[in-house]
Chains A and B, each alone.
Chain A
Amino acid sequence: MKEKQTFEEDIKNLQKIVDDLASGKLTLGESLKKYEEGVKLAQGLSVVLNEAQRKVELLMKKEGKFSLEDFEDKDSKE
């Protein structure tokens, strides 16, 4: 998932936006643009963390080659 790969970068960007906004050195236009950008980032990050889908797979190895199989996750299915 793309958002997961860029998660750390997105968090860093968000932190920078927060710091920039707090510095008080931005114009109103710049501030509003950054604010919008920051809110979008924050929402995206929350969505990724709150995601309800997860995969449970089994790592198999045959003749040195890896493959993934579904893992029958009986107990936590309920």
Chain B
Amino acid sequence: MERNSPDLFLSEDQKSRHIYSVSEITRDIQVILENTFHGLWVEGEVSNFKAHSSGHFYFSLKDKDAVLAAAMFSRANKDIKFKIEDGLKAVCFGKINVYSPRGQYQLIVEKMEPQGIGAQQLALEQLKKKLAKEGLFDPGRKRPLTLMPFSVGIVTSGSGAAVRDILQILKRGASCVDVILRSVRVQGESAAQEIAEGINDFNKFKKVDAIIVSRGGGSIEDLWAFNEEAVVRAIAASEIPVVSAVGHQINLTLADLAADIFVETPTAAAKIMVDKKNTLLADIDSFKHEMEFSVQELFASLNNRLATLRHSLKSPWDRLSEKAQLVDELSAALKNNMVNYLKLIKERASAYIQRLEALSPLAVLSRGYSLSMLMPETGIIKNAARLKKGDKIKTVLEKGSFLSTVEEVIKDERETDI
């Protein structure tokens, strides 16, 4: 070969050796791959889907045995009508591109068509249907938690965030709750078996009021153990109520469906216990108030009855003196009235007497006047014209009277007339 320096000591093998630089071989691979694989269709299940803030999509296409990295740039994905998410089975059109800085090849997707649900998702749907048919998800199977779970078993990883979150919340909000942890793998091959065994072990061990099956958030693959039959069956078979607390945003796991209670985070599972404690404390408080109220009511009604009884129990003597007092009061008032009345009468009487006295003829006589009457006593003479010579008249003075005979009648003599 021309490029190799002519070295006499080199073997035939070595003489024919062509040494590539990394860039060269990468460039060659690039040329071969990109020239061979363009304008092609690839079928697979979308996984690890990420929409970058730049607008580009990065994900993997996978099937049972292999994974292919894929990128769909914003220019290509802007018109896509459906939602791309993990588990989606799709047919993608595009070309293979080699990304030299990483030595990786990827499918640059130009077009994507969904193909129903992916195989894994399909398997899940099938398992879900089967278990639902057996009644494992029936709402009627759900058991309530005990009034206050004082002892809680947790099936999760002893080094994970889930157990930390649960212990934190319980410590702060419900430190009366004892915790027994069964540490298991929550991800990977043996995870489902270990989780199922943990649940079964708590049922054999007893001594806990509730079991929390938990894991922090993760991708659909990370949480897959909670979709496996062994876990779902262990939850359904548990005699102790199970709370499923698997961090997830999109889909429920089958563990959630089988659990007696499910929440979306480990923290929320712990908060159930805290809420129970607080509700009970409030209940106990209102019980106390109700009891106090009842006793106060009783005292008040007893007091009332006592007052009534006391009144009806008054002695006859008390009642007699009460009446006597009334009589005294009335008679005093009566007496008062009588005195006033008599005084009034008396005053009026003396006024009459005075007037009578003023009108009496005797009073006139006492002032020197006299009265004359024609005999035989026909009335007082007020007009001389009624008299004639020879009439006998009687004249009354203040003291005594006398008879006389008319000598002469004088008319209209006002001066001498009375």
Distance A31 CA – B297 CA, assembled complex (angstroms) = 11
Cross-chain contact of B201 among A17, A35, A61 (Cβ < 8 A): A61
A73 and B290 within 8 A (CB): no
| Distance to closest chain B CB from A66 (angstroms) | 5
Known: A7-B147, A35-B295, A51-B176. A56 touches B167 (CB 8 A): yes
Cross-chain contact of A76 among B164, B288, B294 (Cβ < 8 A): B164
Instruction: Give chain B's interface residue range (CB within 8 Å of chain A).
Output: 35 or more
Majority secondary structure, B binding face: helix
Q: Which residue of B lies closest to A68 (CB)?
A: B180
B370 contact set on A, CB distance < 8 A: none
A8 and B302 within 8 A (CB): no
Q: Say whether B304 faces chain A, with CB atoms less than 8 Å apart.
A: no
| Distance to closest chain B CB from A48 (angstroms) | 6
Q: Which residue of A lies closest to B150 (CB)?
A: A4
Stretch at the interface among B13-21, B73-81, B277-285, B375-383: B277-285
Q: Say whether B9 faces chain A, with CB atoms less than 8 Å apart.
A: no
Cross-chain contact of B153 among A1, A55, A59 (Cβ < 8 A): A59
Total A-B contacts with CB atoms under 8 angstroms apart: 114
Known: A54-B170, A54-B177, A68-B180. A45 touches B280 (CB 8 A): yes
B297 contact set on A, CB distance < 8 A: 24
B248 contact set on A, CB distance < 8 A: none
Known: A28-B298, A54-B175. A46 touches B167 (CB 8 A): no
Q: Say whether B182 faces chain A, with CB atoms less than 8 Å apart.
A: yes
Distance A23 CA – B230 CA, assembled complex (angstroms) = 53
B295 and A21 within 8 A (CB): yes
Known: A31-B295, A59-B201, A75-B164. A53 touches B175 (CB 8 A): yes
CB-CB contacts below 8 Å: B285-308 with A: 287-288, 290-292, 294-295, 297-298, 301-302
Cross-chain contact of A46 among B177, B182, B284, B298 (Cβ < 8 A): B284
Q: Mark B186-209, 1 if CB is under 8 A from A, else 0.
A: 000000000000000110110000
| Distance to closest chain B CB from A32 (angstroms) | 7
B180 and A54 within 8 A (CB): no
Cross-chain contact of B287 among A42, A52, A56 (Cβ < 8 A): A42
Distance A39 CA – B151 CA, assembled complex (angstroms) = 26
Q: Say whether B120 faces chain A, with CB atoms less than 8 Å apart.
A: no
Known: A56-B179, A59-B180. A14 touches B298 (CB 8 A): no
B295 and A32 within 8 A (CB): yes
Q: Say whether B63 faces chain A, with CB atoms less than 8 Å apart.
A: no
Instruction: Give chain A's interface residue range (CB within 8 Å of chain B).
Output: 35 or more
| Distance to closest chain B CB from A36 (angstroms) | 10
Max count, chain A CB within 10 A of own CB: residue among B280, B281, B284: B284
B176 and A21 within 8 A (CB): no
Distance A57 CA – B301 CA, assembled complex (angstroms) = 55
B277 and A49 within 8 A (CB): yes
B153 contact set on A, CB distance < 8 A: 59
B129 contact set on A, CB distance < 8 A: none
B290 and A21 within 8 A (CB): yes
| Distance to closest chain A CB from B204 (angstroms) | 7
A42 contact set on B, CB distance < 8 A: 284, 287-288, 291
Distance A32 CA – B294 CA, assembled complex (angstroms) = 10
B295 contact set on A, CB distance < 8 A: 21, 31-32, 35
Distance A4 CA – B178 CA, assembled complex (angstroms) = 11
Known: A42-B287, A66-B201, A75-B168. A58 touches B281 (CB 8 A): no
B181 contact set on A, CB distance < 8 A: 56-59, 71
Distance A21 CA – B168 CA, assembled complex (angstroms) = 41
Distance A71 CA – B389 CA, assembled complex (angstroms) = 165
A68 contact set on B, CB distance < 8 A: 180
A52 and B175 within 8 A (CB): yes
| Distance to closest chain B CB from A2 (angstroms) | 12
Distance A14 CA – B280 CA, assembled complex (angstroms) = 12
Q: Say whether B111 faces chain A, with CB atoms less than 8 Å apart.
A: no
A66 contact set on B, CB distance < 8 A: 201, 204-205
> 5 pairs across A/B with beta carbons < 8 Å?
A49-B284, A51-B176, A54-B171, A59-B153, A76-B164
6 additional A-B pairs beyond A14-B284, A21-B295, beta carbons within 8 Å, are A4-B176, A11-B284, A22-B290, A24-B294, A35-B291, A56-B167
